[in-house]
Amino acid sequence: MITELFLKGRLRQELSAAEKSVIEQSISRTITLGPRETFIDAGQRLENSYYLVEGQMLRYVDDPRGVRQLVHISVPGDFVDLHGYAMKRLDHDLGTLTECTLAEFPHEALSAMFAGSARLMRAMWFSTLLDASMHREWIRALNGLNSEARLAHLIAELVERMRLIGRFDGRALPIPLLQRDYANACGVSEVHCNRCFSNLRARGLITISRGGRLEVSDIEGLQQMAGFTGSYLYGGSSLDLDVMQDA
Amino acid sequence: MITELFLKGRLRQELSAAEKSVIEQSISRTITLGPRETFIDAGQRLENSYYLVEGQMLRYVDDPRGVRQLVHISVPGDFVDLHGYAMKRLDHDLGTLTECTLAEFPHEALSAMFAGSARLMRAMWFSTLLDASMHREWIRALNGLNSEARLAHLIAELVERMRLIGRFDGRALPIPLLQRDYANACGVSEVHCNRCFSNLRARGLITISRGGRLEVSDIEGLQQMAGFTGSYLYGGSSLDLDVMQDA
DNA sequence: CGCTGCATTGAAATATCTCAATCAATGTGG
DNA sequence: CCACATTGATTGAGATATTTCAATGCAGCG
């Protein structure tokens, strides 16, 4: 079931079978994209939102100078542009990292879904709040950590997010980011990023990193260096839909 | 009317008189806080959300080392912790910068409001999405701009946000941030922040900055240096509640 | 074999931090 | 009114962090 990962990674709580079914039925179609493709440009008017079933996507802004700045990395189970439902446009570009499978939700279908269930609307709202929470944590990392610790933080977050959806085997991070991508995300030059990788390797925290393959040998070490705790990924606690009762 | 600024700064569109009234009636009380007070600690369980009527508030995380990192600055018209409605806790601390007046919305009252109007729920959802949008822009600034341009960006954003709610007179930024605060927000040391201020002054972009008073002499210059456009403050366009029709 | 894309290394140039001191305004007690 | 303490802004200078430019290494691929 397509919604499975959404529940795992984002909501961490069961929706009822009926609710899952409503979500599934709002999908108009499923599409596949190749790796490193542009999908949505900033500013473009949107009629659909997309849920990432498989693969990873990048949310980025291209600098006037041509420098690409990653603002977020999406993994399976994420709605990649649910904020486009309320905003109608994105403030950033959206493209694929790997080959991706996306489920399309027409905004009309979402409106219909929400009209029938305030609870589902809250669940979706909550899931967009997690983005903001991740953004804040990343601002914190950019503000307070040096480049090596930032890199450690990024790796630790990706590992944890993959682990939450059952995609981490305890060793290799199954996301083929290039060192350039890590650099673009951490806001450092590619060269310096490479030196940070070397340092992390020298400390025994990671192992290889060739051809987009990165092995994590000491996740606790990474987390500690970065002051990482995953709590911001869950909204502090789990979503408590029942506390948000209908009056 | 208390909601006036919410509409100006966040929604930029009229809600109906009835809707405004519903919002106003959900306020349980109004409270006042002194300057530089802690209001909500990270992790604390929340039963209310607060709307900032007057003053400015800071959202920050205190480093283990004791360094304070600002993640957001709230101005009148902002719900300072609306995400606490869905999350039930904050991932950061919340405190005042100046004396503040806050309107309290019990989460129960919000639930009642939303049960009666999906449109209002969307308006509130939208307003939290603007936070995420501002966060992304700030990530972009931290990643791609040097410290001087970051400072210019921060000033330009605050000016624009105050202007949106009619609180900018074309000269002085009416927010008494210390250089330490700017430094904490920009992720630079206080000393270096001071040098950035000197540079901006030397370029003729700002004038004085003493006792928390900062005069903007060339807002276009600031914007240009920072690559600032205010579009992310409005969600790319204005909220189009009518597009989000009930099915 | 000779590309091409990505990772790595070296070294000089900048940006930023840290520590320490000074300055300017403001407030407080006598 | 003066002496002194406090807070925030400013300056200097050496230490680190990071960037930039340029070159090299390394693997897959036609």
Model confidence over A72-83: pLDDT tens digits? 999 999 999 999
What pLDDT, on a 0 to 100 scale, did the predictor assign at position A210? 65
* B41 in contact with chain A, both atoms CB, cutoff 8 A: no
What pLDDT, on a 0 to 100 scale, did the predictor assign at position A111? 95
What pLDDT, on a 0 to 100 scale, did the predictor assign at position B139? 98
- Residue A89 is classified by DSSP as S
Q: Can you tell me the distance from the alpha carbon of B123 to that of A185, in angstroms, rounded to the nearest whole number?
A: 31
Q: Can you tell me the distance from the alpha carbon of A199 to that of A194, in angstroms, rounded to the nearest whole number?
A: 9
What pLDDT, on a 0 to 100 scale, did the predictor assign at position A137? 97
What pLDDT, on a 0 to 100 scale, did the predictor assign at position A213? 87
For A230, nearest residue in chain B (alpha carbons): B91
What pLDDT, on a 0 to 100 scale, did the predictor assign at position B197? 97
Average of per-residue pLDDT across A59-66: 88
A191 Cβ contact list (under 8 Å, min separation 6): none
Task: Give the other-Cβ count within 10 Å of B143's Cβ.
Answer: 23
For chain A, what is the mean pLDDT?
92
CA of A67 to C1' of D18 (A): 17
Residue A6: CA count within 13 A, CB half-sphere: 24
Q: Can you tell me the distance from the alpha carbon of A222 to that of A229, in angstroms, rounded to the nearest whole number?
A: 11
Reduced DSSP (H G I as helix, E B as strand, rest coil) percent helix, strand, coil of chain B, to 5: 45, 20, 35
* B234 in contact with chain A, both atoms CB, cutoff 8 A: no
Q: Which of residues 166-225 of A touch B (CB under 8 A)?
A: 184-187
Strand D within 7 A of B178 CB: yes
Nearest residue to nucleotide C15, by CA–C1' distance, is B146
Regions of chain B with pLDDT less than 50: 245-247
Beta-carbon separation of B121 and A121 below 8 A: yes
**Cα–Cα nearest to A186, from A240, A236, A148:** A148
B29 Cβ contact list (under 8 Å, min separation 6): B103, B104
Average of per-residue pLDDT across A81-91: 93
What pLDDT, on a 0 to 100 scale, did the predictor assign at position A1? 78
What pLDDT, on a 0 to 100 scale, did the predictor assign at position A246? 41
In the block, tokens 């991706």 appear at A100
The H-assigned helical ranges of B90-238 are 107-116, 118-144, 147-164, 179-186, 190-202, 219-226
Rg of chain A over Cα atoms, rounded to whole angstroms, equals: 18
User: Full-prediction pTM beyond 0.75?
Assistant: yes
**Cα–Cα nearest to B93, from B78, B105, B81:** B81
CA of A33 to C1' of C6 (A): 24
pLDDT tens for A90-133 read: 999 999 999 999 999 999 999 999 999 988 999 999 999 999 99
Inter-chain Cβ pairs, chain A and chain B, closer than 8 A: 173
